[in-house]
Amino acid sequence: MPNFSARIMRRFRALFRADVVDADLSDEIRLHVDLEADELVRTEGLATAEARRRALAAFGGVGRYREEHRDARGVRWIEQRLQDLRYALRGLRNRPAFTFAVVVTLALGIGANAAMFSIVDRLLFRAPPMMRHPALTHRVVMSTYDRGEEDQATYIPYARFLDLTRDTHSFSRTALFTEVELAVGPASDAREMQVGVVTPGFFSFFKARPVIGRYFTDAENAPPRGSPVAVLSYGFWESHFGAGHNVVGEQLQIGATIFTVIGVAPHDFVGLWSDSPPVVYIPAAVRGGERATGLPASESWWTTYHWTWAQMIAERKPGVTMAQANADLSQAFVRSYQQELVGSPHQQPLAIAKPHAWAASILSNRGPNESSLAKVATWIGGVTLIVWLIACANVANLLLARALQRRREIAVRLALGVTRSRLAAQLITESMLLALLGGVSGVAIAQWGGAILRTRFLSKTTTATVMTDPRTLIYAGLAALVAGLLTGLAPLLQTRRMDLNRDLKSGAREGSYQRSGIRAALLIVQGTLSVVLLAGAGLFVRSLRHVKAVPLGYEPQHVLIVETNMRGTRIDSARSKALVDQLYRGVAGVPGVISASRQLTMPFESMWSLGLTVAGIDSVDKLGRFDLDAVSPTYFTTMGTRILKGRGITKDDGAGAPPAMVVSQAMATKLWPHAEPIGQCVRVGEDTVPCTYVVGVAENIKDQDLGSDDAGLFYYLSAEQFHPDQGGLFVRVHGDPDQMKEPIRRALQKYLPGSAYVTVTPIRDIIGEQTQPWQLGASMFVIFGALALVLAAIGLYSVISFNVGQRLHELAVRVALGATGRDIARHVMTGGLQLAAIGVVCGVALVLASGHWVEPLLFAESPRDPTILGLVAAVLLAVAALASFIPARRAAQVDPMRALRGE
C-alpha cells in the first residue's frame, strides 16, 4: 500500500484538526461555487445572485456535500463515537445516584478481582523475572514409593544433582538451589535474612549480568568446602554498602563464615524467590562444607544420598519434548537410585520404590507439593470472579431498569430516524463508560485494599503494587471491558423487542409494565452465586473452628520457645552443656515464668528421628516415622501434656542412670498392640546400643501436620541422657506470652558467648502459621460473601422498587378495586421472595454438586453440611425479605387517586 504512513498521518489530521480540514474544504467549495457562478454570468449572462443560486444548486447542497466528504475522510465513525460519548456523559451526569451506584458496584467487583489477580498471578502464572527461557525451564521432581505411598520430592541430595546432571542429555543447563535463613552482617547488627544457596550454573538461567563484579565460578563451588565468596542482591548492596562501587573484596559475615563479596546482581534479580528474595547468594559447596559436620566419616556431603537439602532446575534443550525429557530424567534417576542402593542396602529395592522423575513447572506453587496458601489463593481468586459476576448482573439490572425508564426517549429517537445500530452503539458507549469509571476506581481499590491481601499471601518483602504492574492493569482493563460489554448487552436485547408504536403512545406509564425475563434471571443468578459464596464462607469458618479445636496434646497458649543461634561461635561440648544448663536455670528466675523444660525439637518447625530397634519387630522403620524430643523432668507440666500411664521423665533419669523414654499412646499401640509398653526395651539409633526402657505413656500430640488424621508416633528421652549439650527451652509463663518475649530474651542473652544470640517465640505464633490457610480462607470468604450478599440485596431492592414504580398505576387500580395495603405489600414481597427462593434452590444445588472440589480445602467439615446450607438459605431469604419489604411498604401506601391521575 503506497504512502501508508502518510495516509495514517492524514487520517489523524482529519480527526484531530477537523476544524482546519473543514476550513480547507470550505475554501475549496467557495472557490468552486464562485468560479461556477462567474462562468454562468459570463456564458449565460445571468445576474450575479441568480448565477450564485444556480451554482450552489448544481453543487448539490453544500452542507450535504460536506458530510459526504467527511465520510470519505473516514473519520465519521470516530466522530460518531465521540458524539455518543458526550451523550453518555451527559446522561450519567444527569443521574448522579445511578452513576454512583453502578460505578461503586463495578469498582468493588473489578477491584477485588484485580487485587486477587495480582496475587494469583505471582503465585501461579508469572515466570520468575529475568528468566532466559521460562517455557523451557523446569523444577525436577523425583518420585518414589514407600509403603505403597507415592512420595514426590523436589528436595534432593547434592549427589543426586550430580548424577542427574551427568546422566541426562535433554538439558542445556542444570543447577541446584535452595534458600536458607542465616544471620547476615557483622555481630553488632546481624539479622536473620534470606540467603540464596546456589551452584554457579544457577545464574546462567537468567538474563542478568552482574552490575558489578561477577558471579561464582565452578572452581569456587568445588568440594569439599568451596570458596567463601558472595554475590550481593542489588537492594542489600544499596542498604548495607551504600551502593559503593568498590564493594568487590569487602568482607561479609553470613552464618558462621566470613565471605568475600565478588559481585552485585542486577536490580530486579530475585532468582526463583519472587516472594522472598535473598539478600545475598553463596556457593552451594560452602553451605555443604559448613553443614557436613554431622555426617559419618565414611561419607562426604557431595556423595551422600542421606542429606536432602536443595532443589534442582533444568533447562530443556530446544526441540526436546517434555516426554523425552521426562524419560531421560527417569532413566538417570533410576541409575542414581541404584548407586544409592549400593551404599544403603536398607533402602526400598528398585522394584518397590519404582523411582521416576519428571520436569515440572518452574513455579513451585504449580505443584507438586504446592503451598496450601496457593490453593486457597486460587480459590479466593475464583470467589472474586463470582463477586465480579454478581456485580455485572447488578449493573446489567440497573441499566435495564434505566433503559425501561427511557423507553419513550428511545422510541422517539427511533421514530426520528436514529438507526438501531446507532442506538446500540450509544447504549454500549454508556455501559463502557461506566465500566471504565468502575475499572479506574477498581484499580484504586485494588491498590489500597489489595495491600492488605498481599501481605497475607505474599511475603512482606514483595513490593508488588497494582498500579505499576502492567499484567494486573491489563487484567483489570479486561475485567472492565467484558463487564461493559456484558452489562451493555442486556438493555440492547431489550431495545430489540421494542414496539415503537406502543412505547410512543404510552411512554413510561400505564400498561408498560411487563415482567422482564432477563431481569428476573439476573436476580436469580445473583441469588445463586451469593448462596455459593456464603456457603463457602460458612464451610471455611467451621473448618477454622475445627482446626483450632484440634487436640494438640499440649496447651500452646502460654508457652514460648527459646532457641539459640551460635553463629559459628564454636564452643566445646562441655561449655555448650554448661550454657544450656545456665539458660535452663536462668529462665526460672525471670518474673512471670512458671516453669521451663529443655527441648531439642520444636512443634511444626523441626523434627529428629532415629532408627529404632525393638525385639520381636522385624523393621520398626516400616511402621512409620518415630520422632523424638529430649526433655527435662518439668516438660510435661510445662507443656500440659498428660501422662496416661507410668511416669514422666524425672530427676532420676540423669546422666548415669539407665536410659528412659516416655512414648506417645499412638507409638505404644503401634509397637506393642497386645503387650504392656512399660518396661519394654527400645534401642535408639544403632541396634547395638544399650536398651532405653519405656517408663511411661503420654497422650498423643500433634506436632507436624495439623491437617493429617494420624497421631504422631512420638517419644521423649531425658535431656540429661540424650545430647545434653544441645537444644533450647520451652517456657510456660503467666499472662500474655507476647509480653514475656523481651524480658526472657534480655535475661538469657547475657549468657551467650561471642556473636551468638537467642530468639524467643510464642508457640501460638508457630501454630498460627499452620492455621493460616484456613484463617485466610475463612476471612476472605466471609468478606467476599458479605460483599456478594450486599450486592445481591441492592440488586433485588433496586429492581423491586423500580418495578413498583413502574406498576404504580396497576397497583392503584387494584387498590381502587378493593385491595388493601396489606394485599399490595404481600403481592410485591411475594414477587421478590420467589426470585430469592429460586436463587437459593439453584445455589444449594450448585454447592451440593461441587462438593468434592471443595472437600480437600476443608478441615473435618463436610462440604454438604446441612446446617450451613440451611443457615445460608435463611440468611439469603431474610435479606431478600428486607430488600423487598421497603418497596412493598411504599407500594402499600399508594394513593389510588394520585396514581390514576398521574402523568
Partner 1 sequence: MPKPADLLQGTLDLLVLKALLLGPLHGWAISKRLRALSSDVLNVGQGSLYPALYHLEDDGWISAEWGTSLEGRRARIYTLTPLGRKQLAAERSAWRPFSAAVDQVLQAN
**Residues interacting with partner 1, by CB under 8 A?**
2-3, 6-7, 10, 24-25, 27-29, 31-32, 34-36, 38-39, 58-61, 64-65, 68-69, 71-73
Cα(109)–Cα(489) distance, integer angstroms: 18
Give the residue with the Cβ less far from partner 1, 74 or 768.
Answer: 74
Contact 272, 313 (CB under 8 A): yes
β-strand pairing of 171-184 with 310-316: antiparallel
- The least CB distance from residue 14 to partner 1, in Å, is 9
| Cβ-based nearer residue to partner 1, 36 or 581 | 36
Rounded Cα distance, 16 and 161, in Å: 63
CB 59 to partner 1: min, Å: 5
Tell the smallest beta-carbon distance from residue 26 to partner 1 (Å): 11
Cell triple for residue 224? 569439599
Residue 16 or 87 with smaller CB distance to partner 1: 16
Cβ partners under 8 Å of residue 746, min gap 6: none
Q: How far is the CB of 4 from partner 1 (least distance, A)?
A: 9
Q: How far apart are CB 58 and partner 1 at their closest, in Å?
A: 5
Query: Is 658:714 a contact under the CB 8 Å cutoff?
Result: no
**Distance in angstroms (rounded) separating the CA atoms of residues 324 and 354:** 19
Q: Which is nearer to partner 1, 63 or 673 (CB)?
A: 63
Point out which residues pair with 142 in neighbouring strands: 153, 357
Nearer to partner 1, 36 or 563 (CB): 36
CB atoms within 10 A of CB 504: 14
Q: Which is nearer to partner 1, 69 or 126 (CB)?
A: 69
Nearer to partner 1, 72 or 675 (CB): 72
- Kindly state the DSSP code that residue 221 receives in the 8-state scheme: G
C-alpha cell at 16: 484531530
CB of 175 to partner 1, least distance (A): 57
Q: Please report the sign of the dihedral spanned by the C-alpha atoms of residue 303, residue 306, residue 309, residue 312.
A: positive
Q: CB 254: neighbour CB atoms within 10 A?
A: 25
Three-state SS at 635: helix
CB of 62 to partner 1, least distance (A): 9
Q: Which is nearer to partner 1, 34 or 218 (CB)?
A: 34
Give the nearer residue to partner 1 in terms of CB position, either 38 or 765.
38
Distance in angstroms (rounded) separating the CA atoms of residues 95 and 467: 30
Name the minimum Å distance from CB 10 to partner 1.
Answer: 7
| Residue 78, C-alpha cell as written in the block | 470516530
Q: Report, in Å, the least distance between residue 17 CB and partner 1.
A: 15
Whose Cβ is closer to partner 1: residue 78's or residue 485's?
Answer: 78
Using CA atoms, how far apart are residues 241 and 230, in angstroms rounded to an integer?
Answer: 14
Q: What's the min distance (Å) between Cβ of 11 and partner 1?
A: 9
Nearest CA among 161, 800, 793 for reference residue 513: 800
Q: CB of 79: closest distance to partner 1 in angstroms? A: 16
Radius of gyration of the chain (CA): 38
Q: What distances in angstroms separate CA 527 from CA 112, 312, 534, one per listed residue?
A: 19, 48, 10
Q: Are 251 and 258 in contact (CB under 8 A)?
A: yes
- Which of 78, 617 has the CB closer to partner 1? 78
CB 231 within 8 A of CB 286: no
Shortest reach from residue 51's CB to partner 1, in Å: 14
- Answer for the pair 328, 168: CB distance below 8 angstroms, yes or no: yes
State phi, psi for 401 to the nearest 5 degrees: -60, -40
- Rounded least distance, CB 42 to partner 1, Å: 12
822 touches 888 (CB < 8 A) = no
Bond preceding residue 470 cis, omega within 30 of 0? no
Residues 389 and 483 sit within 8 Å (Cβ to Cβ): no
Closer to partner 1 by CB, 70 or 890: give it. 70
C-alpha–C-alpha distance, residues 566 and 187, integer Å: 11
Distance, CA of 520 to CA of 396 (rounded, Å): 11
* CB closer to partner 1, 67 vs 903: 67
In this complex, which beta carbon is closest to partner 1, that of residue 7 or of residue 191? 7
CA distance 485 to 475: 15
Of the pair 2, 319, the CB lying nearest partner 1 is at 2
SS3 helix, strand, coil % of the chain, rounded to 5? 55, 15, 30
Smallest gap from Cβ 83 to partner 1, in A, equals 21
List Cβ neighbours of 791 (8 Å cut-off, separation of 6 or more). Answer: 105, 108, 109, 387, 390, 391, 394, 526, 530
CA distance from start to end of the chain? 61
Report the amino acid identity of residue 817.
L
Q: How far is the CB of 423 from partner 1 (least distance, A)?
A: 27
